[in-house]
C-alpha cells in the first residue's frame, strides 16, 4: 500500500470503504466494536501520501505524515472518550496534528498569504474567543485550560489552512467545525445527529487537506526551474 506508483488510487479506495463503514457504525452507535474501522482511516490516507510519490527516492511531506500519525493515535483514544484520561490523550494527540499541519502550511506559503490578507485569520481568532465563551462554562474546571489551549492551536491551523486556500482551506474549515462540535458535546450541548456530523466533517476535512496538500506540493515542484 505504501509502494510509490505516482497516483495512489488504491489507498483512497480503501479510505472510502473504511469511511463508509465507520459512518454507518456511527449512525448505529458512537462506540463499540463496530467502530473498528476508525483507527485504520488515517493510515489509509498516509498510505495514499506515500504511494502518490513518483518513486522511492522522493520524500513524502513529513508534516502531513506526522499529522496523520498523530490523528491515528487520537482516533483510537477517542473511541474511549467517555473516560476522561482517554479524552485528554486524544486531545493531546490531535494537538500534534494541528502543530504538524500548521508547520506544513507555513512551508506552503500560508503566513505570507495571511500577511497580505489578515481578515480570515482575525476571524478565526474571534471565533476562538467566542467558542470558548460558549463552551468553557459547561466544562469541568480542570478541562477548561486544556480545551482553550487545544482550540487555539486548532484555530491557528484553520487560519493557516485558509492562507493556503483551495482544498486545503476547505478541509481546514471542515476539521475546525468537527472539533467545535466535539467541544459543544463535551460541554453538554447536544444537537440531533451530532456524532454523525462530527465524523463526516472530520473525514471530509482530512481527505481535503491530504489531497489538496499533495496537489499544491506537486504544483510547486512543477513550477521549479528544471
User: How would DSSP label each residue in 31-65?
Assistant: SSGGGGGHHHHHHHHHHHHHHTSSSTTSPP-HHHH
Query: Considering the domain boundaries, does residue 38 fall inside one?
Result: no
**Cell 506537486, located at residue:** 218
Q: What is the mean pLDDT of the chain?
A: 92
Query: Considering the domain boundaries, does residue 199 fall inside one?
Result: yes
Confidence of residue 226 (pLDDT cuts 50, 70, 90): low
Query: Considering the domain boundaries, does residue 7 fall inside one?
Result: no
Query: Considering the domain boundaries, does residue 158 fall inside one?
Result: yes
Average pLDDT estimate for 45-68? 94
Query: Considering the domain boundaries, does residue 13 fall inside one?
Result: no
Average pLDDT estimate for 62-90? 92
CB crowding 100-124: b at 16 or more within 10 Å, else e: bbbbbbbebebbebbeeeeebbeeb
The per-residue pLDDT for range 122-174, each reduced to its tens digit, is 999 999 999 999 999 999 899 999 999 999 999 999 999 999 999 999 999 99
Query: Considering the domain boundaries, does residue 187 fall inside one?
Result: yes
Range of the domain at 124: 61-223
- In the chain, the number of structural domains is 1
Query: Considering the domain boundaries, does residue 129 fall inside one?
Result: yes
Query: Considering the domain boundaries, does residue 136 fall inside one?
Result: yes
Amino acid at each position: 500500500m505504501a509502494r510509490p506508483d505516482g497516483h495512489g488510487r488504491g489507498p483512497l479506495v480503501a479510505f472510502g470503504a473504511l469511511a463508509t463503514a465507520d459512518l454507518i457504525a456511527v449512525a448505529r452507535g458512537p462506540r463499540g466494536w463496530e467502530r473498528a474501522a476508525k483507527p485504520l482511516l488515517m493510515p489509509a490516507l498516509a498510505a495514499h501520501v506515500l504511494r502518490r510519490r513518483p518513486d522511492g527516492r522522493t520524500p513524502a511531506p513529513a508534516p502531513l505524515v506526522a499529522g496523520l500519525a498523530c490523528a491515528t493515535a487520537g482516533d483510537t483514544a477517542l473511541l474511549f472518550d467517555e473516560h476522561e484520561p482517554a479524552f485528554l490523550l486524544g486531545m493531546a494527540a490531535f494537538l500534534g496534528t494541528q502543530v504538524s499541519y500548521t508547520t506544513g502550511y507555513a512551508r506552503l506559503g500560508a503566513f505570507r498569504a495571511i500577511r497580505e490578507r489578515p481578515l480570515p485569520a482575525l476571524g478565526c481568532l474571534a471565533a476562538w474567543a467566542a467558542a470558548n465563551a460558549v463552551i468553557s462554562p459547561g466544562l469541568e474546571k480542570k478541562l477548561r485550560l486544556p480545551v482553550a489551549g487545544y482550540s487555539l492551536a486548532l484555530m491557528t491551523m484553520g487560519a493557516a489552512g485558509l492562507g493556503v486556500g483551495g482544498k486545503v482551506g476547505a478541509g481546514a474549515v471542515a476539521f475546525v467545525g468537527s472539533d467545535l462540535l466535539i467541544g459543544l458535546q463535551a460541554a453538554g450541548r447536544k444537537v440531533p445527529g451530532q456524532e454523525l456530523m462530527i465524523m463526516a466533517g472530520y473525514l471530509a476535512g482530512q481527505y481535503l487537506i491530504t489531497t489538496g496538500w499533495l496537489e499544491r506540493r506537486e504544483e510547486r515542484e512543477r513550477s521549479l526551474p528544471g
